Structure 1
Amino acid sequence: MLSLAAPAFAQDLCGGVGSGGQWIGGDAASSDMTTADNFREQLALVMGGNDYVALFTLSETTDVRLEAAGRGAGDPIIDLLHADGSLILSDDDSGGNAASRAETTLDAGSYCMAMRSYDGGPMTAFVRIGRQDHEPLTEGIALQVDPGSSGSCAEAVPIGPLGSSVNGSAIDDPYWSFTLDQPTAISITAVNESADPLITLYDGANNYIAENDDHDGFNSRIDMTDPLAAGTYCISLNALADETAPITLTVSAYDPQAAVLAIYDRGEAAPPLDGTVPVTDLGLVSTRIRQDVNGSSIASWFTVDVDAPGLLMLEAIGNASADPVLVIFDDLGREIGRNDDHGNTTDSLIAARVTPGTYTIGVWKYGGSLGLIRLLVERYVPAQ
């Protein structure tokens, strides 16, 4: 079931993310995981700052498993996107040994699984997509709760109504519960990067539903965009870094608009230029533009105009130990470059070939504090 990724071809899927993607089975018919006789797998090469995208379809509602395991010291992160471009889930490290793994139930349709390197560098990794009855690629982490163990759903501490938050360590309060009076789409977040939380959602009978690690930095988030049935659910809370650190756990009704804005905040997609998200216009790049940014973990956005084919060199230079991340999108919202930690520094650098148009640049920093970042945009033209 292993195949090497074939040359890219255009796919108008997943809000443009599928452009250049690879059918995981080699073609659309062989990538229907509902009817596949076994998992489908590819050996993917990710160049610095870019994503590898695997495409697959489902002919009916199916329980699927998505995995990525890096070779050597590779540390992959995966995102699952619907054909309309909406983000369904993200994962890092849930496969164990730095591998990514996610299990969920999806309706019939087309989907994109995007994989990137955690540190933005080049990486090779095995990518496997299959049903949950197929053989897994990774070991997985805590995919099932022992119903007889202490702290099962029956013994979990109630969080309260939707919109409630609690604060406590994973070692003191490892299980929390909530109850839905009617079918509801929900979001669960666990916040404290020092703890590196991992959250797993189960129904009242301890059946696994979903899990997440490292959705936003080292914070975790589960979005159940399809309404959960009325009933009681429980959350297993783990900390991969410091199990004594306090974690803020919140269960709320899913807000589609807030979810989209969060994607822009994380630099995963270019925001629209309609004022929904603040974007600073830096104007036409004739030779060189320098802009100081008071960076945070939320992306700051800029646009530049290019009036002739050439090369854009982008640099994000952190001051006072700031660790910047840089991304650029073309005027159709396609990512054409992403970088973190260029060379032996924590600064970022992107070289991107461009044609006339407007380009959107995002820059942010790791960590919750503010830090000064110097953004440099230089334009080079072909020699005559």
Structure 2
Amino acid sequence: MTLISRSILGSVAACAFALPAAAQDYCGGQVASGAWIGGNEANSDITSADDYREQLALVLLGNAHVSLFSLSAPTDVRIEAQGRGTGDPVIELLDGSGAVVGSDDDSGGGTSSMAMLSLQPGQYCMRTTSYDSAPLTATVRIGRSDQEALTEGGMNAGVDTTDTTDTTEPTDNTDTTMDPPPLDTAMTDTDACGGAMMLGSGPVDAMLDAGVSATNSINSVPTYAFELSSSASLTLTAENEDADPVLTLTSEAGEYLAENDDYDGLNSRIDMTTPLQAGTYCLQLEALSDGDLPVTVALTGYDPAAAAMALYDQGEVAPPLDGSYPITELGALAGRTVTDAQMSGDTANWYSLEVTQTGLLLIEAIAVSNGDPVIRLFDDVGREIGYNDDYGQGLDSQIAARVFPGTYLLALTDISDSSPRLRLVMERYVPAQ
């Protein structure tokens, strides 16, 4: 008699029967369709699942694979994607309202992606895309923190390997190489988090509106601590792209809460939309580039409006068409339209266009001067229907998408270190009669 292990049988069943969910809007309308990670909705409750759930993701033409799952109770969840061959997956997690609650690239080890999150009950959408828009085949796994991990990073997540032996004098927070940060830099020594530097001279609750921060190199201060006297939703950032910081949040006992790398360029940001309870927390930093450079770590209260505005500025989420965010109107798209754009830093240029007939829309972003454009196309309710960076052998971008009559939004960003002039070329093709 042939025996099949439970874990293999469970994985095969999840992959073989991960059929697309019936077409409808998920995650606040940000996702039009996806596949339940457990094959159906009932089998995709990670809270009660007897084992992790797994899918095979096939990503083509700059699109995304969407894995749907739910939680019936507060749960510590691990999401992972591991590419096959040279594939480089990027993952992003949306909650039921469509807000991005987590994202990652490469924290799984190598080119694999991994994030561990403490999530509340509800439905969630995990989007897997290809980092360079090349065709991607990847294994996607969603499970609890107590279940088997897929990636090397997932196996080691939550393990604090930082040497906390302090052999140096506390670093002076006054940094002569950078402009002083605008936030309160009060810090004290503490026994919390293995002798970490404390942000603030006590509970930071009263400082959250103005914020509290400190600037030091990661090699000199790899861990900070802060204290809350009541529950609060927080935003935590680590900034200096030349250092490429990775930011990890844990409880004082070492419980993993969240991690981020490359939220804004190479800077890191964690939005704890679910309030943290009163207690002491630890911020651990790692420099993927230069650990001797000064990195500014800041802690503020979470501002939903500011967080949404930041996503609009990055071109990752479509702004509303109500005039509250600047959008250049291009009107009805003719057969071919050419538009030049002067970029300013990392902020996206947004365009709206009207399509009057069903057909194919071809969009190219070309660097007139030295630049590295990225484009994203959304429909009028904010669903992403196209994305590309580095089409072909160069740094220019191209999207080809089937469109229907209606309004579309296009985000143009540049990820080079300059503020180049870019050229948008849009061509519309209609079916032969």
TM-score with structure 2 length normalisation?
0.84
Q: What SS is found at the alignment partner of 1:94?
A: coil
Q: Structure 1 vs Structure 2: percent identity of aligned residues?
A: 51
- The secondary structure found in structure 1 opposite 2:296 is strand
Q: Match for residue 134 of structure 1? A: 147
CA distance in 2, matches of 1:273, 1:114: 24
* Higher percent of residues as strand: 1
1:231 aligned to 2:246? no
User: Can you list the C-alpha shifts for 1:194-246, whole angstroms capped at 9, x where unaligned?
Assistant: 22211111222233221111222322111111111122212111011222232
Report the AA paired with residue 269 of structure 2.
R
Larger Rg: 2
CA distance in 2, matches of 1:287, 1:131: 50
Residue in 2 aligned with 1:205? 253
| Matching residue of 2:179 | none
Counterpart in the other structure of 1:246: 294
Whether the 8 Å contact between 2:336 and 2:428 is mirrored in structure 1 is yes
Within-5 A mapping of 1:1-384? 1-2=11-12, 3-4=15-16, 5-7=18-20, 9-140=22-153, 143-145=158-160, 149-150=164-165, 153-160=193-200, 161-162=207-208, 163-295=211-343, 296-384=345-433
1:52-73 CA distance string (max 9 Å, x none)? 1100011122221111111122
- Separation in structure 2 between the aligned mates of residue 334 and residue 104 of structure 1, nearest angstrom: 24
Alpha-carbon spacing, 1:147–1:383, altered in 2? closer, same or farther (3 Å): closer
CA–CA separation in structure 2 for the residues paired with 1:8 and 1:293? 39
Deviations 1:32-81 (A, max 9, x none): 11111110101101113211110001112222111111112222111111
1:147–1:206 contact (8 Å) kept in structure 2: no
Q: Is the 8 A contact 2:364 2:426 kept in 1?
A: yes
One-letter amino acid of the structure 2 residue matched with residue 219 of structure 1 = N
CA offset at residue 259 of structure 1? 1.1
Structure 1's 367 and 244: CA in aligned 2 closer, same or farther, altered over 3 A? Answer: farther
Cα distance in 1 between the residues matched to 2:141 and 2:94: 16
User: How many Å apart are 1:369 and its aligned residue?
Assistant: 3.4
How far is the alpha carbon of 1:147 from its aligned partner?
8.5
Partners in 2 of 1:39 and 1:142 — Cα distance?
A: 16
Q: What amino acid is aligned across from residue 409 of structure 2 in structure 1?
A: T
Does the aligned pair in 2 maintain the 1:327–1:337 contact within 8 Å? yes
Between 141-150 and 311-320, report the one with greater CA deviation.
Answer: 141-150
2:180 maps to which residue?
A: none
Q: CA RMSD in A?
A: 1.8
Secondary structure of the corresponding residue to residue 260 of structure 1? helix
What 5-or-longer segments of structure 1 have no aligned partner?
none
Unaligned runs of 5+ in 2: 1-10, 167-191, 201-206
Secondary structure (helix, strand or coil) at the match of 1:112 reads strand
| Matched letter for residue 396 of structure 2 | D
The CA deviation at 1:329 is 1.1
* Distance (whole Å) between structure 2 residues aligned to residue 360 and residue 333 of structure 1: 8
Once the two structures are TM-superposed, the CA of residue 146 in structure 1 deviates from its matched residue by: 5.0
**Cα gap change, 1:48 to 1:241, in 2 (>3 Å):** farther
Q: Secondary structure at the match of 2:310?
A: helix
Distance 2:63 2:162 in 1: 42
Alignment coverage as a number of residue pairs: 384
CA contact (8 A) 2:20 2:36 kept: no
CA distance in 1, matches of 2:346, 2:135: 23
Query: Partner amino acid for 2:337?
Result: I
AA aligned opposite 1:29 = A
CA contact (8 A) 2:157 2:256 kept: no
TM score, norm. by length of structure 1 = 0.95
